[in-house]
Amino acid sequence: MAIALTLCIALCPITGTVDGCMSEDCHGTTTASSHDDFGGRLLWTYTFENSVQDLSMPANGSCVAVLTAGGQVCLLNSTGSLLLCYRTDEPASSVQVSADGSAVAIAAGSHLFLFTTSGNQVWRAGTGGTITDIAISPEGSFVAAGADDRRIYLFDQTGSLVKTFLTTGAVSGIALSSGGAYLALGSDDGVTTLENSSGEPLWTHDTGSAVTAVSLSSDGSPLTAGTSGGTVLLIDGEGMVNWTYETGSPVASTALTPPGSYVAAGTEGGYAYLLAGNGVRLWSYGKLWSSTAGNDVTGVALSSEGSYLAVGSENGNVYYFSFSAVPPPTILLPGMASPPAAVAEATAEADEEISAEPAPATAAVQATPNGTPGMVAATALGATLLGGGIAVFSWRRKR
């Protein structure tokens, strides 16, 4: 059955209809804030009618793409104003913005869409199964999708299928490096790096519990992994674990600044964390956010220098923080002379519980030696990942 994608644009109004497209699902409110604690200033909170399921933002923090439980994907600017919303016939399952801000990738059912941040569709492609997660390279030239048919699909900037390969388990997280050179995959119990031309694993790491989130530096090293056991790991390009941090509850999302200077993580326990490159906690936020809705953190997104952090919650809120004295840049749609004004009065009221006391990271864990027997079977066209885990693939040919 064909799938249609409708673009609802709201340049300033938050509610209403545009060209016959009802924007009720895009309805929300923004609360601006000047609250500042321990260097993490909450600039604004945007409240959706449905839970936030995923979010992503470019490296400069100029906008935030948000996926809600209603199946909508909306784009907010850095002042918390709604710019536009995408509506799909089938519920959207994942959204990713390229680091350079040039492209937005959206998965809906078995289809994958690539848009510009101004709302123009670049291409649309299909897969053989329902897509479970997607990733986009920093410059927007490659998009990867994992589907429930146990295949990974890699598309180029024209929407052409570059490669598919099989996995033996469901993929729970994907991340891409610049040029699509490396692909990180998260699954049940490990981390693997493969090279395209030979299909040989570079390294494998067993995390001890199911991997729930992965993020990857633009040059393929380091990467972060979050697990259902509540562990955040930073792993280098050789497959060695630099450090682990225990959050105490399942990790739902991770984000990473190149080259691993800062790591953000969100947990089902209702906390968002900002960690230093050495694994020391710099800041945390959350727990008692709402008395009427769930408090799980469902997504985190971090700007390239760790200056801005977006946090999505089960309670329908998107929180936008600044760790810099410089206001974030903001995105302008074609024809806009200036960004939309904030839609709410500023308030100092805060609902967070913030901890500034650094907590030491746990001792580093040794990664599995290169080429763990029996973990990966590879072919020239791809690879089969046995036992799940996180896989990082190199698509570069040997010289």
H/E element, 302? strand 297-302
3-state DSSP call for residue 285?
strand
Q: What integer pLDDT is reported at residue 201 of this predicted model? A: 62
Q: In 3-state terms, the chain is what percent helix, strand and coil (to 5)?
A: 0, 50, 50
Tokens representing residue 141 in the block = 């030239």
Q: What is the pLDDT of residues 162-212, one digit of tens each?
A: 988 877 677 888 899 988 888 888 877 665 554 343 335 677 788 888 899
Q: Among the listed ranges 181-195, 242-256, 293-307, which one has the minimum average pLDDT value?
A: 181-195
Mean pLDDT of the chain: 75
Q: What integer pLDDT is reported at residue 23 of this predicted model? A: 38
Strand partners, 131: 147
Strand partners, 283: 274
Strand partners, 195: 394
Q: Beta strand pairing status for 82-88 and 5-9?
A: antiparallel
Residue 340 DSSP symbol? P
On whether the pTM is more than 0.75, the answer is yes
Q: What's the rounded Cα separation, in Å, for the pair 47 and 45?
A: 6
Strand partners, 272: 266, 285
Q: What is the pLDDT of residues 98-136, one digit of tens each?
A: 999 999 999 999 999 999 888 888 999 999 999 989 999
Residue 338 DSSP symbol? S
> Which of these CATH numbers, 1.10.1040.10, 2.130.10.10, 3.40.50.1390, 1.10.760.10, describes 31-394?
2.130.10.10
* Domain ranges across the chain: 31-394
Please enumerate in sequence order all residues whose Cβ is within 8 A of that of 399, keeping only pairs 6 or more positions apart, or say none.
none
Q: What's the rounded Cα separation, in Å, for the pair 173 and 132?
A: 8
